[in-house]
Structure 1
């Protein structure tokens, strides 16, 4: 089996994120959490691509983990770093997955796979990159003197 070849469009594609694995199927995305993440209150989830209203993506950087959130009607909007409600946080939403800097290529492949699955299902949706996390990154760089 050649792992360098791209997977067929109809085959499931799995992507390892931070304490979670996302599997992109032709009609849905399934999120599986590690036992440690489940101890922290996060749970596995499944999202039908037809229910996705927006794709909120933040690229991982050296300072801040990135994430991808498949926003549905059940969400109140884009996720936040901290909130009193677990479902409003990146790390607590079961329709989101985080990626560290070391998995930035996996993040790019995951975004492309979800976009491709949405396109094939007839509901194209470009990711919306939120900029608010990059403000924090710039502030951290300024503290470091760069």
Structure 2
């Protein structure tokens, strides 16, 4: 990724894709996921206070959750939240074991965007 020009990275996850650009993370869910109640979300990079991630295994899906401060100052997913609460968050994306590399690409792209925002 060039430090001189804007970037945009598209990463597939289960079920949908994440688009990371300099100023936002856009989570696009599949039609089936949206029919099940999941929603598409746009998160400004400046609003991300933490990225919590668990690597997928052959038995359990992994996840990456973008933590933001809520309007009352609380986190979108509270500390100590259960797996069920984490996966229910619209700021969480799931990865299968086969998508482990995609999860790593997502983490790198988000860290790159956050570093640019900090001026690094």
Q: Which TM class, normalised by the smaller chain length?
A: 0.7 to 0.9
Q: How does 1:52-131 map to 2 (within 5 A)?
A: 52-74=48-70, 75-78=76-79, 79-82=81-84, 88-90=85-87, 92-122=88-118
Answer yes or no: is the 8 Å Cα contact 1:33–1:43 preserved in 2.
yes
Could you tell me how far 1:39 is from its partner in structure 2? 1.1
Larger Rg: 1
TM-score by length of 2: 0.85
Structure 1 residue runs without a partner (length 5+): 1-6, 83-87, 125-146
Per-residue deviation, 1:81: 2.1
Inter-CA distance 100–50: structure 2 relative to 1 (3 Å threshold): same
Runs of 5+ consecutive residues of structure 2 not aligned to the other structure: 71-75
Aligned residue-pair number: 112
Higher strand share: 2
SS at match of 1:53: strand
The whole-number CA distance in structure 1 between the counterparts of 2:22 and 2:51 is 16
Q: Considering Cα pairs closer than 8 Å and 6+ residues apart, tell me whether 1 or 2 has the greater RCO.
A: 2
Residues 86-135 of structure 1: per-residue CA shift (max 9 Å, x gap): xx341x222111100001011111111111110111088xxxxxxxxxxx
Q: TM-score, normalised by structure 1?
A: 0.70
Query: In 2, Cα distance between the equivalents of 1:120 and 1:24?
Result: 13
- Give the root-mean-square deviation of aligned CA atoms: 1.8
Quote the Cα distance in structure 1 between the aligned partners of 2:93 and 2:29.
9
Aligned counterparts of 1:66 and 1:22: Cα–Cα separation in 2: 15
